[in-house]
Chains A and B, each alone.
Chain A
Amino acid sequence: MRGQPPRQVLPEQTFRLVRERFHERFGLWFHDDLRFLLELRLGPRLALLGLRDFDAYQRFLRLDPRGPAELFDAVEVLTTNETYFYREPEQLRAFERELLPALQRERGEARRLRLLSAGCSTGEEVYTLAALLLDSGRFEGWDLEVLGVDLSRRCLARAQAGAFGEQAFRSPEALALRRWFHLLEGRWVADEALLGLVRFGAANLLDGQGLPLEPLDVIFCRNVLLYFDPPARRQVLRQLHARLRPGGWLLLGHAESLLQLSADFEVVHLDRALVFRKPRAAAEGAA
């Protein structure tokens, strides 16, 4: 075969050292089974940086002043998960039917809502939430914002562009959302109404850098915790808890729970969905 550079081998011990760097910086945890992923994805970085092998790469990450910047570049090629509109429909239906009315009641005086999609990848969840807010018709004239944060600047750039291919609408429920998009050169581009509600930014969920300071009403953090090991998950949940207003909601992926991770949230059973809530004030004397 032509054009194939020699494969850079990532030995087990070096894999462990490289993995430690990502864990220290971002809390991301690459299981032993994913050694092949790091080998294949990071191999090309070696040539780009002029490094001989993965051992030199791990030393570069650890010791060189350019190491921290490289960690950010490397994480781009390791976490590029595609997502799509209206993912996990049961939970989103519960959000529409139960949480949005509750939020309308609870925040009716302030007429202000702040939603966060933590680990928003290429932004489909953010636009889905914005469309659901608009579709509900409950928040006319309110100050609304749906913020998406992610580590990957490449994903954020795509999210910011607000242009999506057919595949992003592969969920049957997503087709109805298309009324908030228009077709331009074969891609579905978000309308002004949506673009006016959404905002994107880089954030590290582990140390909270980049997360909004203003208290949030709802945080979606779905299928994100699985990239962290248990101590890092606890740390991320502490960050999210601190940023929710009392009574604010946390929605995790359908296969995720807070068991063994955090007791700071109440469990609330909605119709066909389980969500978490930051408790309001307790009885006098216990606060």
Chain B
Amino acid sequence: MSGAGPALALARHPDEETRYRAVLRLDGAVAAELAELLARLSDASWRVRTAAVERLGQLADPAAALPRLIDLLDEAETIAGRAAAEAALASLGTAALPALLRRLASAPGERRLSAISAVTSIGSRRSVPALVACLADPDPALRAAAAEGLGKVGGPEAVGALLAALDSDDATLRATSLDALGALRISPPAARVAALLAEARLRPGAYRALACSDEPAALPLLGRGLAEPGRSARLAALAAIGSQRGRRSGQELAPLAAEIRLQVAGGAPIAAWCVEALEADEPQVAAGALLVLGWVGELTHAPAVARRAADDRLRPLVEQALEALPAGAGLIEVLGQLLPELAPVARVATYAALARAGERSALQALLDRAADADPQVQQETIAALGRLGDPAAVPALGGLLGDQRPGVAGLAAGALLAIGQADDAGRRAVLLECRARAAAGGSVALYRVLGGCGGSEDLRLVRLGLSAAAEERRVAAAGALAALGKRGLLRGEHLPELIAALRDPAWPVRVAAARAFSDLAEANFEARFGDPASGEHPLCDLAMGALRLAIDDAAPVVQAAAAVALGTCGRRAHQEVVAARAVDERAPALLVVAALQALARLGPPDAVLLEQALLHPDPEVKKAVVAATGQVAGEPGRQLLRSALASERWDVRLAVAHAVEARRDVALRDDVAHAAAADADPLVARALADAALSLAAGAGR
């Protein structure tokens, strides 16, 4: 390497920047320079050490460097030097693994600890057997380090060993194994966790482990966790409850809410602890605390909840917690006193809670803020008015439908839809407002509202919108027609404007028209206005003919929408033209996915075609193939699933797990069981294992 000589000379220069640049130019293939790189791992400057790590990680043949690097794990004079050696070994990856594993098997005491640390920082599954063996080592520190390492490396073998280690006599190993399982997002069976809770030191880890549990039995344990005397255990339980909120519906969480209310009634100061936990940095702890405070429903804690609305991440949860509090004069008094000290966006959430409690002046305050100069306050207010569902907000929101500021009209439309869909009074108010405004001309937001809660008398206006000058209005009008159709208000009407929209110069309009036909066909199909099985069709021949032409559109996105619509229409005669798109190698994934979805609706797809489509590189296409195999019986279907199971993409393998479980085909049991054992992704491994278990249970019956 030219210039290497000067680099070697400058690698010990007193100036840090000079050394740094010199080290970056050292060539590890030259013995003297390799020695200097290894020496620079102990440089006083972290920048120089980092540069040395980077250069060592680039060695084509690390064999010459490995013995010294491994020695430096223990022999470097400073902690920084030892850490740099470990980082260099990690950057060499599996090339360094055999030497490190030899060290782990034979070196004395401390040196094995540093080897284990380096092995786990490489993160290779090949190290798992050696780490598992260390779980039975006489040295307790090594056992704990091995468990921690297994939590970083992961894999079914690691998980099995960690679960087994929960039964160890070594308390430290039990605690470390629990933490390691938590790091892998693996929850031991709830009954096992319940036993572990008997040990105070294991409780934080045990509660955190329940965050990923889908067992109903986990919930009562978490409820009891809130009454723990130790703060870290309580916070862990709250974090797990926060996570469970994302895993389960409100109904599924109801037993937990009941358990907590029972404890509060018994005098447990759970609400006070939750208020304290609201300030936690960890979002899941604060989320859990908000959920619990909503369940407990004590008004004295309402101010603490409302203050957290200033946090953007937590505001939606705060709104839900405030909504869960008992409405009435008590809430109005408590929140009313709080208003002056709140940040503007937190004030909006509080006004909404006050309005819900029946305070009319709070509703007026919200109506005033619907046109606030601060965009964030305005947008939060519009959304809050929609959630409130009070028809009194309709005129103010209607006035925003034509607003030119980004997002405002769309938000106002969403709020009006929420009010219109809440009850008859709301719907009447919204339609009165929108029809009056429509007289002055339609807008994108107005069409959206009319589609969502308009009646058959609004059809004429919406159809007119398809010939509006502005492209986005034509798109919105097509969407509104679809929405009206989905609500059963179009019963096979001839829609020449929508057919013409399939030839609109703007592709977004053509897409919207094709999607509208798809939605209309779906609605009509469900209403049995057209039943392909009886030779009937949910759309007229003219519409289907236009869709048939649209599948040759210049824009693939239009072709895709037309393919989906033809699939929904259910006419088998379209199978061939749709199939051609599914196997077109040049077609974008969007079109191939749409064609595969359409084919699946037109009858059992051809296995050879699916096999060909499976070669498409896009994972969404592969998942569409996997979904379609549900209709391919026998060995051809199995082969397709086996091929997809070999995908590098986790989401494709996950789709296979779900497809296999739905298929209930015992012949695939061994395939998914083996795949579960080998899959590196915990979510996929779990789904595959579930599929294997479900097939085994089916075979046993």
Contact = CB atoms under 8 A, between A and B. Distances in A.
Interface of A: 1-5, 9-10, 12-13, 16-17, 32-37, 39-41, 44, 47-48, 50, 59, 62-66, 76, 80-82, 153-154, 157-158, 163, 165, 167, 185, 187, 259, 263-267, 279-280, 282-283, 285-287
Contacts of B18: 282-283, 286
B47 interface: yes
A34 B311 CA distance: 13
A124 to B, nearest CB: 13
Contact of B15 (A36, A158, A264, A283): A283
Interface string B276-314: 000000111001000000000000000000000010110
B344 A44 contact: no
Interface in B352-367: 356
Interface stretch (B95-103, B125-133, B223-231, B383-391): B383-391
Contacts of B654: 13
Given A63-B588, A82-B312, A266 B17 contact: yes
B6 interface: yes
A65 B555 CA distance: 10
The 5 tightest CB contacts between A and B, nearest first, are A3-B389, A2-B389, A263-B50, A63-B590, A40-B316
B421 A5 contact: yes
Interface in B384-439: 386-390, 406-407, 410, 414, 417-419, 421-423, 426
A154 B378 CA distance: 12
A263 B418 CA distance: 53
Contacts of B374: 158, 165, 187
Nearest to A47: B414
Nearest to B411: A44
A94 to B, nearest CB: 21
Contacts of A35: 246
Nearest to B374: A165
Nearest to B346: A167
Contacts of B389: 1-4
Interface residues on chain B, size class: 35 or more
Contacts, number: 153
A3 B287 CA distance: 23
Contacts of A267: 46
Given A36-B287, A40-B316, A283-B18, A3 B386 contact: yes
Given A3-B386, A40-B317, A44-B414, 12 more contacts: A2-B426, A17-B651, A36-B246, A41-B316, A62-B589, A80-B312, A153-B406, A259-B46, A282-B17, A283-B18, A286-B18, A286-B25
Nearest to B515: A50
B313 A34 contact: yes
A63 B597 CA distance: 15
Contact of B387 (A3, A12, A280): A3
A191 to B, nearest CB: 18
**Helix, strand, loop or mixed for chain B's interface?**
helix
B22 interface: yes
Contact of B373 (A81, A82, A187): A187
Contacts of A263: 20, 46-48, 50-51, 54
A157 B407 CA distance: 13
Contacts of A59: 593, 620
B528 interface: no
Interface string B31-68: 00000000000000011101100100000000000000
B387 A185 contact: no
Interface centre among A82, A266, A282 (most CB of B within 10 A): A282
B421 A3 contact: yes
A280 to B, nearest CB: 7
Contact of A33 (B9, B243, B356, B620): B243
Given A63-B589, A286-B6, A39 B312 contact: no
Contacts of B422: 2-3
Contacts of A34: 283, 313
A279 B388 contact: no
A82 B346 CA distance: 12
A82 B426 CA distance: 34
A34 B650 CA distance: 21
A35 B284 CA distance: 10
B371 interface: no
Interface of B: 3, 6-7, 9-10, 13, 15-22, 25, 46-48, 50-51, 54, 185, 242-243, 245-247, 249, 282-284, 287, 310, 312-313, 316-317, 323, 343-345, 356, 373-376, 383, 386-390, 406-407, 410, 414, 417-419, 421-423, 426, 479, 482, 508, 515, 557, 588-590, 593, 618, 620, 650-651, 654, 683
A283 B21 CA distance: 9
Nearest to A279: B17
Contacts of B247: 12
Contact of B246 (A39, A64, A259): A39
20 contacts: A3-B387, A3-B422, A3-B426, A4-B389, A12-B247, A13-B651, A16-B683, A36-B287, A40-B317, A44-B414, A63-B590, A65-B557, A158-B375, A163-B373, A165-B344, A282-B21, A283-B13, A285-B3, A285-B6, A285-B9
A17 B681 CA distance: 14
Contacts of A265: 47
A40 B290 CA distance: 15
Nearest to A63: B590
B683 A64 contact: no
Contacts of B421: 3, 5
A165 B310 CA distance: 14
A266 B388 CA distance: 54
A167 B344 contact: yes
Contacts of B618: 63
A157 B408 CA distance: 14
Interface centre among B48, B287, B376, B390 (most CB of A within 10 A): B376
Nearest to A122: B376
A16 B417 CA distance: 30
Contacts of A82: 310, 312, 343, 345, 376
A39 to B, nearest CB: 7
B243 A3 contact: no
Given A33-B243, A266-B16, A286-B10, A4 B21 contact: no
A285 B317 CA distance: 59
Given A4-B387, A59-B620, A283-B18, A33 B406 contact: no
Given A36-B287, A37-B313, A50 B10 contact: no
A33 B282 contact: yes
